[in-house]
Structure 1
Amino acid sequence: MWFDSWPDILRTVVVGSAAYVTLVLILRVSGKRTLGQLNAFDLVVSVALGSTLATILLSKDVSWAEGATAFTLLAALQFGVGTVSTKWPVSRKVITSQPAVLLWDGVFERDALRSNRLTEAEIRQAARESGYGDLSLLAAVVLETNGKLSVIPVQQIGDGSALRKD
């Protein structure tokens, strides 16, 4: 339970180091988007890469070559999804969710809250975390495609062009 053997420890160090270097190189080649977590697919890739690294480190049944192949496959799939969603805007609707305005001009958008399974209390919390104690000072609170809440104060709404749906 506490210790199996020195060869097992050595395997973890050697294969783990090689897997780590491989992952870093693949991430550098594949670009920033691979770990960008801009939407649910990006998050899945991030989690899968971490899980794959852990499996390579701890499982004797997975070789470095198999792990490197898995890293490459995940990065390539992410690259493909990013490319498709950029070149064909129609596919973006299938691949990513749309942002949702949950509060507009200090008033809750109840249908949007309900359809996104959020509560007014969660919107108030986001406002407080952004330093606002008065919802009337907010132009909008938006649920982004990555699940984060963006709080936009009245004095920074400008022409509202950032709220336009593509």
Structure 2
Amino acid sequence: MWHDILVSGIPLAEKAIRTVAVYLCVVVLLRVIGRRDLAQLNTLDLVVMLLLSNVVQNAIIGDDDSVTGAIFGAVVLLGVNTALARAAARWSGAGRLLEGRDTVLAEDGRYDIATIRRLGLRLADLEMAIRRQGGTGVADTAKVTLEPGGTVVVRLRPEEKSASVGDLAELTARLDRIERTLRSLAARPH
């Protein structure tokens, strides 16, 4: 029993090669097929991610059901991911290659329908992102982009932006200064 738990069924070098190869293939596939914010997966995206992990599992583990092999594979996977993430952060060319560039989805209050269709996005999802960021619809936007990580970023037209608590506090302070100045001018004898 302990032998099966602790002794890897395949050489660790083979396990490392399998893990890195599958990782890189999945990264390339996800990069080529499209990008969406993984924190906001819809039902279909979630099912694909769950099944994808199951599909590639045997390619990574091979004939190895040991705990040692699983831990080793996890260490290799996390190590490769960390190395690529740091490379993307350090070198802009690596970041563009691994993550891509911003994609404009709407500009000056109008959607780029061709780009949205090419990316397989739904207008309802974009409208929700606009509402979440304070707009009422695409007409309120200056620019809507899909960031490399899959996040939709909405920049509202200046006249559509909401005032923050800080903005109101600054405006109130300025009005108070103006009132004090006007009172001091009115109190002066003419």
* TM-score after normalising by structure 1: 0.49
If the length of structure 2 is used for normalisation, what is the TM-score?
Answer: 0.44
Q: Which has the higher helix share?
A: 2
Q: Greater CA radius of gyration, 1 or 2?
A: 2
